[in-house]
Structure 1
Amino acid sequence: MHNAMPQSYRYMVTSPHYLASQVGSGILQQGGNAVDASVAISAALAVVYPHMTGLGGDSFFMIYSAKEGKVAGLNGSGRAAAAAHPGLFLQGGASRMPDRGVQSALTVPGMVDAWWEAWSAYGSGRLAWADLLKPALRYAEDGMPISRNLHAWMVRDEKLLRANPALHGLYFESSTDTLKPEGAKLTQPMLAKSLRAIMAGGRDAFYNGALMKAIVEAVRRDGGFLAEQDFAAHRSEWVEPLTTAYRGLIVCQMPPNSQGFALLMMLNMLEKIELSRIPRHSAAFYHLMAEVVKRAFRYRDQHLTDPAFHEIPLDELLSDDTAEALVRDILGSTSSQANGFTSVPSGQDTAYAAVVDEEGNAVSFIQSLYYDFGSAYVAGETGIILQNRGSYFSLEETHPNVLAPGKRTFHTLMPGMALKEGKPFLLMGTQGGEGQPQTQLSIITGIVDYGCTIQEAIALPRWVYGRTWGEDCDRLRLENRNLGNAAERLKKCGHQVEIVAEWDGIMGQAQGIRLGEGGILSGAADPRGDGLAIGG
């Protein structure tokens, strides 16, 4: 499982699907800039990676403008329906939000508006809006091969796909009523019609036009809560990224409602430890990572939600004093023993991509339906699978992430960027819920502390601590490479260790771009997925 690491002095594109990467490269060759390419890649992923992302989901963009010399964040997450409140579910005897179905789809999809905002603010002006969506339309209308990763999730989710008539019609052979095989042509005519409407009408087609009305009418008919006013009120939000210093780099993350600050807390702790003296494949390394992650997640789970509804003490959480106290706790008298913690279960299905263009603009972006195939609900004849991001809300009145009208939920999406001397040095991100900050931690430390290239850092044996829905305890999962006796030593320390395959999909699919001396660009795609890095 080894990928080539392309290098270039002009541009670099990487995404979790080879067709989407080719789309981005093509946009740059046509004269578009990194933002144009990112919108086109995002739209293509919404077609070719439908189990991970789609028009019914959210997205976050982190954009470095070479002209302005600064980084801007764009929060493209949707808010809960105005009609949504805990009583809708509690009165029926529910103890938590539904995982799937139309009632789990109670947040407005934010991605299309994020495309429009990013393109309007930072697009090159050389390419028309419709040009950016043409490749996605082509794959929806003319079809594309079912990829390895998509097919694996089709097999896993066969019951879900079979239960929804629209999804059943797409993913099953009509003659045999069996799942289409890997490599079979998948066409999505209803989705193509929706893309055509967005190409012609821009973001307003999705939030105010006939397409919006078709989505809302279907949701209302099927017992959901999204309404016309919810779509009409939606706007993405430009935000200033959070930052911390790590061994000469400035690491940038999205502010809440993103979980990005959890990674910054982890880096603040590791900044105080000579990590390079701890062998990367040792039990000591994995133990330290797990304990750092637990402490950051404890604060994340205590505070993270929409900051418009709950005060989040970011200055305190990211302070040197907090890092010092947490490191003292880790290195204290029980430093060899696992610290008990129960994390919040999360979904794990996401698509991350990155672009750097010839002018020096850089975009790190990520998008998701939350679970695999989101809510597993298609809105009428639009071909749009709606996200189930709203299922992450709590129904507990005192919980910071309690469901409320117009509220954005705790969000796992967190595109990453690190600066060196004020300019982009590293763009990185990954699929996964709990795994996103942990994999970014693995990539950053792999490069900075262990001297890896970007491809080597992404290919390092990974760990992921936490759980997904349906699991009764937190596990420390380790890929079965170069472990030696590390797993047994970790078990003796009290960790709930689970050994997974050498290149296991539970570790997500990471992508990255490193900008080196003299302007050289190195790109990487995760061998665990269907991705491709392309330089030009």
Structure 2
Amino acid sequence: LAAHHATVRPPLHVDITGARLFNMAPPTQGVASLLILAIFDRLRADRPDGFDHIHGLVEATKQAFLYRDAHVGDPAFMTTDAQAILDDAAGLDAMAAAIDPAAASPWPRPSQAGDTTWMGAVDADGVAVSMIQSIYFEYGSGLVLPRSGIVWQNRGSSFRLAEDGWNALRPGRKPFHTLNPAGARFADGRTMVYGTMGGEGQPQTQAALFTRYARYGMTLQQAVTAPRWLLGRTWGEDSTSLKYEDRFAPDVIAGLARAGHALEPMPAFTSTMGHAGALVLHPSGLIEGASDPRSDGMVAAW
């Protein structure tokens, strides 16, 4: 612990149609969030929240998580370069080509947990910040530094108790974690910061929010409020089902079932789907904001 020091690293980025996207470098899962959107950018999906949209993003999530769960952790121990993966157009094409447009791929994999708060800010000079804070479940590690009152987080619990391999516990090693506040710079001059709490659901909710706004033209608030889905873990419970809020059109749910997704309905506006938020700075100087009705967050100006 005495040898630890904070580092400043450039964000990961990937270019998609009309925008450059940014996210956090390892040991976060930021590369997975970017991979989902880069893969989906290569798929055809004409209608927001239709079968092709949801199925495409769920299958892109599986492709991204396969890479994440095999390779992403402390960058000092990684054997692949996350930015190089995002720069490899042929590799991204191959991930997209591996997706069956009509059938779900198997997904028996347990997931990562998390508990998080996202916040964003844009100032009068156009500086935009996307930020996530977390101590990893209530009261973190339960240890309080007596002089500062800081509660230690317990992200070390995500280590694998294995002798070697991905995210194995080792002295001096940083644990993989799920925190990945997102940003985007559009070709038309808009700047967007967005994110959510939700551990395993963070990349999935980011993908839903961003594609609704950027690809399908929903307003920012519509994109946040619209029903969501979650592949994998809920709070404290390993799961591999595709959970969905019960506000989707019946024909979309029927199509997902026919494609082989293991579906699990959830109540409308459930906190299980995360607490998202977003800000967009327009070239005119207008700042557009959206907060999640699933949470007690808000958009404020001062």
**What TM-score, normalized to structure 2?**
0.92
Please state whether the residue corresponding to 2:135 is helix, strand or coil. strand
Question: Corresponding residue for 1:281?
Answer: 49
Higher relative contact order (CA 8 A, sep 6+): 1
Q: Per-residue deviation at 1:316?
A: 4.9
Equivalent residue for 1:293, pick from 61, 68, 73: 61
Tell me, which stretches of 5 or more residues in structure 2 are unaligned?
Answer: none
Encode CA deviations 1:244-278: one digit per residue, 9 max, x unaligned: 11221110111111111112111221222233x1x
In 1: Cα distance, 2:19 partner to 2:145 partner? 48
| 1:326 corresponds to which of 70, 89, 95 | 95
1:340 Cα deviation from its structure 2 partner: 0.9
Q: 1:25-75 CA deviation, whole Å, 9 max, x = no partner?
A: xxxxxxxxxxxxxxxxxxxxxxxxxxxxxxxxxxxxxxxxxxxxxxxxxxx
The structure number with the bigger radius of gyration is 1
2, 25, 31: which one aligns with 1:261: 31
1:516 Cα deviation after fit: 1.7
Partners in 1 of 2:186 and 2:249 — Cα distance?
Answer: 33
Measure, in 2, the Cα distance between the counterparts of 1:455 and 1:347: 27
* CA distance, structure 2, for counterparts of residue 463 and residue 347 of structure 1: 16
Tell me which amino acid in the other structure corresponds to 1:253.
N
Query: Structure 2 matches for 1:25-424, cutoff 5 A?
Result: 230=1, 232-275=2-45, 277=46, 279-318=47-86, 319-331=88-100, 335-375=101-141, 377-379=142-144, 384-421=150-187
Shift of 1:479: 0.9
**CA distance 1:316–1:378, change in 2 (3 Å):** closer
Q: Which residue of 1 aligns with 2:270?
A: 504
In 2: Cα distance, 1:472 partner to 1:357 partner: 40
What is the rounded CA distance, in whole Å, between the counterparts of 2:261 and 2:301 in structure 1? Answer: 42
For residues 423 and 393 of structure 1, what CA distance do their matches in structure 2 show?
A: 41
Distance 1:422 1:286, change over 3 A: closer
Amino acid at match of 1:321: A
Task: Map 1:415-494 to 2 at 5 A.
Answer: 415-421=181-187, 425-468=191-234, 471-494=237-260
Q: Report how far residue 457 of structure 1 moved.
A: 1.1
Aligned-pair RMSD on alpha carbons? 2.1
Contact 1:390 1:409 in 2 (8 A): yes
CA-to-aligned-CA distance 1:502-536 (integer Å, 9 cap, x gap): 10100111111011241110111111111111123
User: Aligned-pair distance for 1:372?
Assistant: 3.4
| Code of the aligned partner of 1:379 | V
For residue 204 of structure 2, what is the amino acid of its counterpart?
Q
Contact kept, 8 Å, 2:40 with 2:56, in 1: the verdict is no
CA contact (8 A) 2:185 2:192 kept: yes
Q: Distance between the aligned counterparts of 2:231 and 2:138, measured in 1?
A: 20
Measure the CA separation in 2 of the matches of 1:527 and 1:248: 29
More helix by share: 1
Identity of aligned residues (%): 37
Q: Which amino acid aligns with 1:330?
A: I
Q: Which amino acid aligns with 1:505?
A: S
- Is the Cα–Cα contact under 8 Å of residues 316 and 322 in structure 1 kept in the other structure? no
TM-score (structure 1 length as normaliser): 0.53
What is the number of residues matched between the two proteins?
Answer: 300
Q: Note if contact 1:243-1:253 (Cα within 8 Å) is conserved in structure 2.
A: yes
Q: 1:476 to 1:249 in 2, by over 3 A?
A: same
**Are the counterparts in 2 of residues 417 and 424 from structure 1 also a CA contact under 8 Å?**
no
Q: Which amino acid aligns with 1:399?
A: G
